[in-house]
Amino acid sequence: MSLKEEILKIAKEAKFASQKLANLSSATKDRALLRMAESIKINKEKIKEENSKDIALAKEKGLSKALIDRLTLNDKRIAGMWHTLEEIARMQDPIGKIESIQKRPNGLQIGKVVVPLGVIGIIYEARPNVTVDAGGLCLKAGNATILRGGSEAIHSNIILADLLREAVDKALLPQGCIQLIRTTDREAVMEMLKLDEYIDVIIPRGGESLIRTVTENSTIPVIKHYKGICHTYVDEEADLEMAERICFNAKVQRPGVCNAMETLLVDEEIAAKFLPQMIKRFQEAGVEIRGDKKTSQIVGGIKRASEEDWGTEYLDLILSIKVVEGIDEAINHINSYGSGHSDAIITNNYSRVKKFLQEVDSAAVYANASTRFTDGGEFGLGAEIGISTQKLHARGPMGANELTSTKFIIFGDGQIRC
């Protein structure tokens, strides 16, 4: 079977499965999710064994520490996966919910009901936990899933997908509801992107080049999960102890993820007081600082930031710092260079909080908290299939509710249009 024929077969199976999934009861889906969770739990050692193969290959290739961190499945992260599936099972089923109903003057009753999207194709890179999160969320929302992970995580993705498929088979769900494209041939993605007859939406998760490739080549609607150029602005009325704690967490706690801070903006009124200690703490944690002219004047010996740095998602222990004249310059900088992902203000001034939350055009905007919270689990969604940085059809962390559409249902008693 050629690659083209293989991808087409997968897509046809997913389309058939989606028609069955759309009409499953909540109880049936939830039992399948719990079987999936149990399968992950009891096969922890197998998962780690396969994951170790991916980590070994990543080290041989000289991949960055941040990427290897995203790739690694340890006991805590594996436990997180099965806990996530259990939490998704406990959540309310979004399918079948009637959003509105109205009676027209002619007697027609017109309602709108929540339905699955259908078949969701997910293209992602070196984060094998996406295999489980995506499979679980799509199933909850009655969607079939076609997964295409990155070559860096191929062994991890295969074992996880196999465990999920075995579980749904035992739960007597339709075959084809969760499928993984097992080849690392990039041509598989191109074939997948042409199958708009069978796949309803594509969700790419990864670097800028992946997103652009998918967007430019897909005949299927794309929900973009673009890069995370996240900012934290420390206002002149900030609690500086709180600001230091939040900024350190936003950059250092896990730098290789999309909700980590990439640029720190500091009001010039407190920059000389705040930056020396803040930069020292960053440097002690191994962070490379790239500062603007004013930052370099306050703290010597740091690298000067270039124009390119302000628009760069490092996903590493690198941080750009800019001193700004006030909140207006901070907001302008964020809206000019940011990616619409997550941005934060640290201040005790309520009017500035209100202004920042209103004027920063991002999917998640924070006051006095770390951007690291932009996550489906942290937002109470159970998990996320990704973080949409566009405005259609969803924005921000996408849980089961965001993997749905609607249709109109109309009740009449013989009405005809004149």
Given a contact cutoff of 8 angstroms between Cβ atoms, the answer to whether 196 and 55 are in contact is: no
The tens-digit pLDDT sequence of the chain (418 residues) is 899 999 999 999 999 999 999 999 999 999 999 999 999 999 999 999 999 999 999 999 998 887 898 899 999 999 999 999 999 999 999 999 998 899 999 999 999 999 999 999 999 988 899 999 999 999 999 999 999 999 999 999 999 999 999 999 999 999 899 999 999 999 999 999 999 999 999 999 887 888 899 999 999 999 988 789 999 999 999 999 999 999 999 999 999 889 999 999 999 999 999 999 999 999 999 999 999 999 999 999 999 999 999 999 999 999 999 999 999 999 999 999 999 999 999 999 999 999 999 999 999 999 999 999 999 989 999 889 889 998 888 999 999 999 999 999 999 999 999 8
Question: Which residues lie below 8 Å from residue 97, measured CB to CB, with a gap of 6+?
Answer: 113, 114
Q: Is 351 helix (H, G, I), strand (E, B) or coil?
A: helix
Distance between first and last Cα of the chain: 56
Beta bridge partners of residue 232, listed in sequence order: 264, 344
Q: Give domain 230-373's CATH number out of 3.60.10.10, 3.40.309.10, 2.60.40.1180, 3.40.50.970.
A: 3.40.309.10
Task: Please give the pLDDT value at position 152.
Answer: 94
Q: What are phi and psi of 367, to 5 degrees?
A: -125, 120
CATH class of 3-223+398-411: alpha beta
All structural domains of the chain with their residue ranges: 3-223+398-411, 230-373
- Which tokens in the block code for residue 64? 């960055």
The CB-based long-range contact list for 212-218 (8 Å cut-off, 24+ gap) reads 213/189, 214/123, 214/189, 217/190, 217/193, 218/193
Given a contact cutoff of 8 angstroms between Cβ atoms, the answer to whether 226 and 339 are in contact is: yes
Q: Are strands 342-346 and 364-367 parallel, antiparallel or unpaired?
A: parallel
Task: Please give the pLDDT value at position 65.
Answer: 84
Task: Please give the pLDDT value at position 4.
Answer: 94
Task: Please give the pLDDT value at position 383.
Answer: 87
Query: H or E segment at 82?
Result: helix 75-90
Question: Which residues lie below 8 Å from residue 15, measured CB to CB, with a gap of 6+?
Answer: 118, 119, 144, 198, 199
Task: Please give the pLDDT value at position 317.
Answer: 95
Q: Which amino acid, one-letter code, is at 249?
A: N
DSSP of 98-124: EEEEEE-TTS-EEEEEEEE--EEEEEE
For residue 77, with 0-12 CB atoms within 10 Å meaning exposed, 13-18 middle and 19 or more buried, which class applies?
Answer: middle
What is the 8-class DSSP label of residue 400?
A: G
Name the one residue in this structure whose structure tokens are 């080849």. Answer: 183
Angle at 256 (CA atoms; ends 255, 260), nearest 5 degrees: 50
